[in-house]
Amino acid sequence: MKVLEYGSEGQATLFLHGFPGVRSKQNKDLAEKASRLGRRCYVPLYAGLGQAEGEFSFLKCRAQVQMFFGELLSKNESVEIVGHSWGGYLALGLTAGAPARVGRLVLMSPLLHFFTLDLAQQAFRLTARENANLSLGVTDELAREFHALGNKDRAEDLARSISSETQVSIFQAATDDTTPVSYAENLVNQFRVRPRYELVATDHSFLVNREVALERVLSALT
């Protein structure tokens, strides 16, 4: 898995982008801004999504991110994680699996609602048609992976497993068809300690009012 790095020293901070991350350009600009706050920032580029070789798979993506996270933990006492959409769901899982090792968890409209199988198949076929640079393999198989994953490891259950020592911030896009506000508000109630929660005047990709939206996210790292 290809990983971009920004900054040469400071707190290790992992940035996990969404699927497919085309519109937000993997939030590389956010990681670069964060590096100026005295952080060493890492942006994994998931295989098959135009920036890294290979074919995309939700399960393989999760396994590769988990492996890289383990490498970070072996070299750092603690790690901060910023997760957006699909990356937010991954971030919940990583944090739940590493009690007290994640100092800060920042979620940007995390993926909380996994479509039905039929809707997932339609969505991924459309994504493949509209983005010729992506390598998504058999989209119906990808949809089955996605659907099974959401049913097995629910975001609410992961949130309940996160240490009370982790500082959690959730920035929810006010205009969001992928992660409805009601789902985000329900997630807030699942943590052991109520997280910081803010509605941000942007869309799911955090492109609308992007500079202001990213400044809100960065405020959780200071």
Question: Domains (ranges, CATH) in the chain?
Answer: 2-113+154-219 (3.40.50.1820)
Report the pLDDT averaged over residues 204-211.
98
Least Cα distance to 109 among 91, 83, 90 occurs for: 83
Report the pLDDT averaged over residues 108-116.
92
**Is the pLDDT score of 43 beyond 90?**
yes
Residue 139 has what pLDDT? 96
Least Cα distance to 175 among 195, 132, 204, 154 occurs for: 204
Residue 114 has what pLDDT? 86
The per-residue pLDDT for range 137-159, each reduced to its tens digit, is 999 999 999 999 988 999 999 99
Q: Which amino acid is at 186?
A: N
* Residues making up the chain, counted from first to last: 222
**Is the pLDDT score of 115 beyond 90?**
no
The per-residue pLDDT for range 77-98, each reduced to its tens digit, is 999 999 999 999 999 999 999 9
**Is the pLDDT score of 50 beyond 90?**
no
Instruction: Work out the percent of the chain whose per-residue pLDDT is above 90.
Output: 91
Write out the DSSP string of 141-174. Answer: HHHHHHHHHHHHS-HHHHHHTS-TTSEEEEEEEE
First to last CA, the chain: 29
